[in-house]
Chains A and B, each alone.
Chain A
Amino acid sequence: MPNENLIDAQICCTHYNIEYSFIDSLQQYGLLQISTIKEERFIPSNELQKLEKLIRLHYDMDINLEGIEAISYLLDKVENMQSEMIQMRNRLRLYEEE
């Protein structure tokens, strides 16, 4: 029975006009989660947004996979730092003059 939350990787490639090898590489670099069911490969729908972003980075901005890997790591750090900054700002408000 097909799972509504999984999208056939081949269909994604056709839709986004990308090579299958690109999806392969993303998985090898640990940048995209892929499910394999009976030797068919599927992309979870909640990974689509990430896939679109990776496609933009690679095809539109000409960034190679090593670069994308580094960027992903740094973006995670940025996100964590931004969230930490919000917490620090909230903490700082305690000591600020009204």
Chain B
Amino acid sequence: MDFIDYYKVLGVDKNAKPEDIKKAYRKAARKLHPDLNPNDKEAHKKFQQVNEANEVLSDVEKRKKYDKYGKDWQHGEAYDKARQEQSRAYAGGGGQSFSGGNEEDDFSDFFSSMFGGGGKSSSRGQSKFRGQDYNAELHLALSDILKSHQQTLTVNGKNVRITIPAGVENGQKIKLKDYGSPGVNGGPNGDLYLTFVIKDNHHFKRLGNDLYMNKDIELYDAVLGGDVTIDTLTGKLKVKIKPETQNGSKIKLKGKGVPVYKKEEEFGDLIITWNIKIPVNLTEKEIELFTQLKDLRP
């Protein structure tokens, strides 16, 4: 656990007056507050540090203690004694820090060790009305989104049974009402925002509802036509190769893509790009025959 220089975090001098600290804090908050930096984890992390620094430096008692022990906060009986006595006094108490937003308002180990856990209140000394929102990611395979199905997740010790809708897009968010942090003083709970992270699988890449894949075919099938077996997401499928198929040409298999979101009966397409394999290690006979073919071409 490292010492945190709260003065440095807020960018103020050690002799800074309370109004300077307040000013520095507000300035930092206007840059880093989660309300102004949606989905920016780095800004949220920095804001936590700023909030913590303000929690300590804007509270006369906490600042006094922080200044007294400073870098030697881990040593000395006097400090330990003071910590035990004061931790009770500070727990649940509050300096002046911002509330709300989506930030996780955990305090650092350094803060908890020195002040015995963090208590927050808004700058207007009011209780919070609504619990915080949580953000989480759910990683799924492409094959998991073919049909709507239910899955049980554990969020902060609570089991949540959710329906994963067929055709859900990578990066799409759903809101699970009331599964966020509990509300305060009877207020409503926050919400849980779940982001779906869907990986392309080994064979397919997805774009919207369509799937794309490359398929190797033999030169002779490309020239003369033939059949090839394709692995789709729902099973194997025999596909005809037209004679004189060109390398890199595409075919579309209608309805073999992923389901359309909220329209489970409709599907996207599977687009196959043909990749013609040129034979190698030719025998003398093959070279002879290829040469004959070459000579036949005008």
Contacts and interface: CB of A to CB of B under 8 A. Distances in A.
Interface of A: 15-17, 48-49, 52-53, 56-57, 59-63, 71, 75, 78-79, 82-83, 86-87, 89-91, 93-94, 98
Interface stretch (B56-64, B121-129, B237-245): B121-129
Contact of A93 (B100, B123, B205): B205
Given A56-B99, A86-B171, 19 more contacts: A16-B129, A17-B124, A17-B126, A48-B130, A49-B130, A52-B100, A56-B33, A56-B35, A56-B122, A59-B123, A60-B29, A60-B98, A61-B98, A63-B30, A71-B36, A75-B38, A90-B169, A90-B207, A94-B212
Contacts of A59: 123-124
Contacts of B124: 17, 59-60
B207 A89 contact: no
Nearest to A98: B202
A56 B35 CA distance: 9
Interface of B is mostly: loop
Contacts, number: 67
A52 B123 CA distance: 13
Interface of B: 26, 29-30, 33, 35-36, 38-39, 98-101, 122-126, 129-130, 169-171, 200, 202, 205-207, 212
A20 to B, nearest CB: 16
A84 B165 CA distance: 21
Nearest to A45: B188
B171 A94 contact: no
A75 B130 contact: no
Contacts of B123: 59-60
A61 B33 contact: yes
A90 B205 CA distance: 9
